[in-house]
Structure formats: C-alpha cells, structure tokens
Amino acid sequence: MGKLFCDTAVVTEALKSPPLLLPWPDSCLREAGLGPESVSSGGWDAVRGLEEQQRRKLERIHARGIYWKNPQEGAVVKGMAFRLSHGGDVEADGNCLFTAVRRAMGSKVGARELRLRTARRFLEEHGSNDGSGRNAFDAAIRHLYSPDLEAGWGIHVVQEVKLLARKADREALDSAIQELVDLGLQREVAAQSVYKERCIPVNDGQSWAKYMSISGSSEDEYDIITLQYTEEGLLTVDENRDGHAAAFGDDIAIESLATEFKREIFVVQSHGSDAMVDEENCVFFFPHRPWGEICETPLFLFMKGTGWCGAGADHYEPLLASPMPLISQEKAAVVL
C-alpha cells in the first residue's frame, strides 16, 4: 500500500557516469508463476479489477514495449527498450511496496529487510542534506502524517494523524486511558488524549524512519496508532491492538529504494472511466529517481488508479521488465 506525492525538490541532479550492467534475467517471469499464455498478453488478462479500456491499453504497451532514456549524463547505455508484464498478485498486508519491489528485482532479500534498508538509506540521506534539504523532507512528512487539521478540508473528507507507540508501553498506555474513562471521558476521547501526549508523532525524518520500519510483525519496536478526523473533529481512533498494522509505502520510501539500488523506479498507474480519461490517456508513468547516480536499468511497479483526482488505489504490484533489443524509441508505445 502507499501514498503518492509529487515533490522532487530534494532530488540531487549532479549524477556520475555509471558502469554498464546487465539487466535482470527473464527467469523472473517463471518465478512469478506466469505461463506462456499469460506472458503473451503481459499477464493483463488475469489481472482483476481492470476495465476493458485499461486492459487494452496495457496490452498494447506490452506488445510494443516502452523505451527508457537513461537520464545519467555520460552513461554508456543511452537507452533501452523493455516489455512490461504483470508480475502477479501480492498480499495486501501493508507490505506490498516492498514485496512488489522484491519480485520486480528477482531478489532473494525479504520484504522486511527491504523496509529496514529503506529506512537506513533515508536516514543517511536526511542526515547528509543541508538545512533546506532536511526541511523539505520534514515538511513532506508532516503533510502526509501530521497534517494541519485547520486546513485541507476542501480536498479531504477525512484526514489521518499517525503516532508511534512502543510495544513495551502498551500496558501502561491502556491503564492511563482507563483512568480517564473511569473519570467519565468517552473511550476514544481518552485514547486520543493519552496517545497524543505519550506517543511519537510522525513529523520529521527520524520519526518517519521509525514509522517506515514497521512491518506489522512481533519484531517491530513500535505499533502504529491512527487518529482519524473530519472537519467537525475526532472521528475514530485505530488503536491497532494486535500490532499487525504496517506502514504503507510512500513516495519517500520509493525514492529511498531507488537510491539504495541506484536505479529509477517507475510507478505505472492505470485509470478507469471514473477518472474521466480516454483509453489513450489512461496509463501514466510516474518516475522516482535516486538521490544520486543511476547505475542500473529501472524497476516498474503497477498501481490501479481510482477517482477523478488521480489518487492511487494504495496497492502496489510488480511489473517484470524484459529487454527488447530490436525496438527503437520511435516504435515503442511509451518513451520515458
């Protein structure tokens, strides 16, 4: 699952020339369980929840391929064509970004380890940035996870505030909430008061790294607490009592992954009729560049778009990229 926001101000433009590296093997198709029939159409005939115009457009892109122009100055490989196939479903457990990236790379690294590497990479970049760079990161994080509840209601019906509770503190937090309930407060009002006072808000780089490290497993140090608000006030408190909630991947996480592996990551978003777009314009490629050099070919992730505002469906799926050496950019369906 994930959130998308378009803020590339912190992306570093000074890139160095990379070595020539080979693309990942075609065996990824077999590992994803795609047989000859589904591969012939890119696997799109088996993808659930697509309208016919989306399916037709994605199958045309699969047939003609996409051409990636390497943005790295002085690169040995100036560009390359790829055929994109759907890499199969991944579980909607909050870890889908990392599971999808793992499958798209054909990597043996687990999804939880990818999470932790993402958080570590971000902390390194956040710490090495100057004041303006860190401020840009922190402002984006506050916008996503600690929004100003006095604003934004012209766009959102519900806004969420994310807090982090140490697993070791849950019993003490419950006792404090019960004390307020015994004094006559409603349970959700009491919970809001205690959590806001004693938990960590996700509002800067350090707290974001803690948040993004949460996979919903017993090994996590923190649990995610979600306060939901409408313009009238508190709506609900998701106390996540079983500790199974995972941090949804966002644009910062994708750019951290791109930096960790020194390759661009494209989110391919496909929209249906509810977005009021025609068939020719129902698929978009959103680039996420590393904060540094590009040394490998790109990764591709798929997201079904919903709604007129272009919001994502909050679920990532892998796309498998196979080289198409005989395709020029003039003949490709999309040039990136």
In a domain, residue 284? The reply is yes
In a domain, 132, yes or no: no
314 class by beta-carbon count within 10 Å (0-12 exposed, 13-18 middle, 19+ buried):
middle
Contacts of residue 64, Cβ cutoff 8 Å, sequence gap at least 6: 327, 331, 332, 333
Instruction: Indicate whether 319 and 263 sit together in one domain.
Output: yes
Do the Cβ atoms of 311 and 324 come closer than 8 Å?
A: no
Q: Does residue 304 share a domain with residue 273?
A: yes
The per-residue pLDDT of the chain, averaged, comes to 86
Kindly state whether residues 227 and 290 are assigned to the same domain.
no
- Is residue 140 in some structural domain? no
pLDDT exceeds cutoff 70 at 181 = yes
User: For the chain, what is the domain count?
Assistant: 2
Does residue 25 surpass a pLDDT of 90? no
pLDDT tens digits along 246-269:
999 999 999 999 999 999 999 999
Rg of the chain over Cα atoms, rounded to whole angstroms, equals: 21
* Within a domain: 25: yes
Let me know whether 112 and 71 are in one domain.
Answer: yes
For residues 277 and 16, what is the distance between their CA atoms, to the nearest angstrom? 39
Q: Do 37 and 66 share a structural domain? A: yes
Amino acid 152: pLDDT = 83
- Report the pLDDT averaged over residues 295-302: 96
Structural tokens at position 262: 């020194």
Whether 229 contacts 235, CB under 8 Å: yes
- Which residues span the domain enclosing 288? 2-8+15-116+250-335
Across the range 163-185, mean pLDDT stands at: 98
Distance CA 58, CA 50 (A): 10
Identity at 248, one-letter amino acid code: F
In this structure, are 224 and 284 located in the same domain?
Answer: no
Q: How long, in residues, is the chain?
A: 336
pLDDT at position 81, please? 96
Report yes or no on 208 lying in a domain.
no
Report the predicted TM-score, pTM, of the whole model to 2 decimal places.
0.85
- Distances in whole angstroms, Cα of residue 119 to Cα of each of 113, 114, 116, 132, 248: 10, 9, 5, 20, 13
Is residue 136 domain-resident? Answer: no
Amino acid occupying residue 252: I
Residue bearing tokens 């009002």: 189
Q: Closest Cα to residue 202, out of 159, 142, 149? A: 142
**Does 31 share its domain with 85?**
yes
**pLDDT tens digits for 235-250?**
999 999 999 999 999 9
Are 230 and 258 members of one domain? no
Q: Is residue 83 part of a domain?
A: yes
Does a structural domain hold residue 121? no
Angle between helices 205-212 and 251-261 (to 10 degrees): 80
pLDDT digits (tens, 9 = 90+) for 276-290: 778 888 999 999 999
What average pLDDT does the segment 149-160 reach? 90
Beta carbons of 253 and 191 less than 8 angstroms apart: no
